[in-house]
Amino acid sequence: MNIIVSLIINTLAVLVGSYLLKGVKVADVTTAVVVAIVLGLVNSVIKPILVVLTFPITLLTLGLFLLVINALMILLTAKLVPGFRVESIWWAMGFSIVISIVGAFLGMSV
């Protein structure tokens, strides 16, 4: 049950992010669900490897390089999911911040 609630929260965060940012496009709700699933898989499989490999850079930038890693995960998801488009890495960074804030806000009420 916890996975379903998390999926719904992440889907709503993706929809809100695409609504707020003009450089991010999601075709429909089904695409948003697929984006939430793929982004979750990418973040759980590929992101930890990148975090370990880029630890020195992350340490030097006091953690700000994690924004770049998050943006790269979103761009990878955009390449994998048809109907989901992100214009640039800057839009991906903004989208990352928006979905984090929305996800945290919605997750507080659960």
Residue 86 backbone zone (phi > 0: left; psi -120 to 50: alpha; other: beta): beta
How does residue 80 score in pLDDT terms, banded at 50, 70 and 90? very high
pTM of the model: 0.91
The C-alpha atoms of residue 67 and residue 96 are separated, in whole angstroms, by 8
The C-alpha atoms of residue 48 and residue 106 are separated, in whole angstroms, by 24
| Per-residue pLDDT, 41 | 95
Q: Average the pLDDT over 74-90 and give the result.
A: 96
Q: What are phi and psi of 59, to 5 degrees?
A: -65, -45
Q: Which helix (H) or strand (E) holds 24?
A: strand 24-26
Helical ranges in 46-88 per DSSP H: 47-53, 55-60, 65-80
Residue 62 backbone zone (phi > 0: left; psi -120 to 50: alpha; other: beta): left
Q: What would the pLDDT profile of 18-68 be if each residue is shown by its tens digit?
A: 999 999 999 999 999 999 999 999 999 999 999 999 999 999 999 999 999
Burial letters for 75-91: b for 16+ Cβ neighbours within 10 Å, e otherwise?
bbbbeebeebebeeeeb
